[in-house]
Amino acid sequence: MNTSYVPYHPEQQQLLPSALQDWLPQGHLAYFINDTIDSLNLSAFHARYSGGGSRNQPFHPAMMVKVLVYAYATGVFSSRKISKKLHEDVAFRVLGADNFPAHRTIREFRALHLNEFTELFVQVVRLAREMGLVKLGTIAVDGTKVKANASRHKAMSYGRMQTAEAELKAQITALVKKATSTDEAEKNEPDLDIPAEIERRQARLAAIEAAKARLEERQRQSDAQRGRTPDDERKPKDKDGKPKGGKPYQRDFGVPAPKSQDSFTDPQARIMKRAGGGFDYSYNAQTAVDETAHIIVVAEVVNTSSDVQQLPMVLGAVKANTGSVAAQVLADAGYRSEAVMAELAITEPDTELVIALGREGKVLAKPRDAQRYPHTVAMAAKFETEQGKMDYRKRKWIAEPPNGWIKNVLGFRQFSMRGLKKAQAEFKLVCMALNLRRMGAMQAC
């Protein structure tokens, strides 16, 4: 007896075109993103195309924004892959409404609207607050390293720069002499386009000199922050310029260490230690997450590996994005700083800080000098109480899951664009997409 199957005729064509929406189930994330983007103010996106005329017909900004946001919310970051999804994925086709922009168009739209996406992130945060998903009772701050779009192999140390600079100058001098020479003996040598060789070496020399200048300027700023001056003769001095005890400095003011590196592909990225071991050119992404629904209310990017000075900037962004201050802020030991806590006591008097003084489970020497470190001593006393310990324990499940989602679920481990400003805008786009995904899930509950 033959088995009876549900009819299956792949060669049969549909007589009438069906609606794409019939193929996408109700409650799908694409519908939520479509409706939410329509409710936001996209006038800044439209302003770029105003007065273009009938011949200039760009793709509709709302469609482009919806496709990009949905792509980032589902872990698709490559413009080529997004363009391909518009042909193959039903959700992308619903949002695209039978528009198929090329990957170059998608890439250029993303790059041209960095400021607009930054403002859109703020709009989504404020919308989440109106929905009751952001209450600013407790927020947790955390930093995570995200790999820059820069190759470690297209970088050079300061010591190697000095050597290469001398070698290139010697080669250019030799080529210039050779170009002006008419020695008969040279006619038997292999053909060499001397002007092109000189130009190539000069371009390389210019790139190395620019990288050297960046490293030296960075070192001058670092030395100045440490209290050094150009005329200190490598001797430690106090604020009044008088010599003080301590070992002499190893290098002159503004001279980088030989191992200091600079990238030729993304000069604003910095070498940072990654969690699994080793080093990469990276940026330091800072997030502030609200306790209520794990909505990211602040998404900033800096190119310094340390978190210690970032808390005032993050809390300032909380106020700018939401119009209010948080009642309580939780942060790990990476943000510990007496100077920062003293500053925030003045600028954020209504915010309670709970900042760890060391790694959990490790016994650390407690600060005892209350006159010199009053805020650190007060924070140590807070962690002696059960309430302080209970408050800080919340940080782990508030701050860390969104970063885990960004890296392990969405798969965003490297920036697509180069430069600090572009990295800041792209990270806001990622966090906005994750917020919308979270808001859609909360609405469906």
Tens digit of each residue's pLDDT (9 = 90 or more) over 19-68:
777 888 888 999 999 999 999 999 999 888 877 655 567 888 999 999 99
**Helix, strand, coil distribution of the chain in percent, nearest 5:** 50, 10, 40
Out of 3.30.420, 1.25.40, 3.30.450, 1.10.3470, which CATH number does the structure's domain 135-150+269-424 have?
3.30.420
* Calpha distance 352→345 (Å, rounded): 9
Model pLDDT, residue 116: 92
As beta bridge partners, residue 140 has 289, 330
User: Distances in Å between the alpha carbon of 346 and those of 342, 349, 356?
Assistant: 7, 6, 20
Domain boundaries, the chain: 20-112, 135-150+269-424, 153-263
Label residue 246 left, alpha or beta by phi (over 0 means left) and psi (-120 to 50 means alpha): left
CB of 291 closer than 8 Å to CB of 276: no
Report d(CA 385, CA 376) in Å as an integer.
Answer: 15
pTM above threshold 0.75: yes
Compute the distance between CA of residue 244 and CA of residue 227 in angstroms, rounded to an integer. 12
pLDDT of residue 108: 93
Q: Which pLDDT band holds residue 387 (cuts at 50, 70, 90)?
A: very high
Distance (Å, whole) CA 404 – CA 196: 50
Strand partners, 282: 147, 270
Residue 323: Cβ-neighbour burial (10 angstroms; 0-12, 13-18, 19+)? exposed
Which of 84-88, 201-205, 317-321 has the least mean pLDDT?
201-205
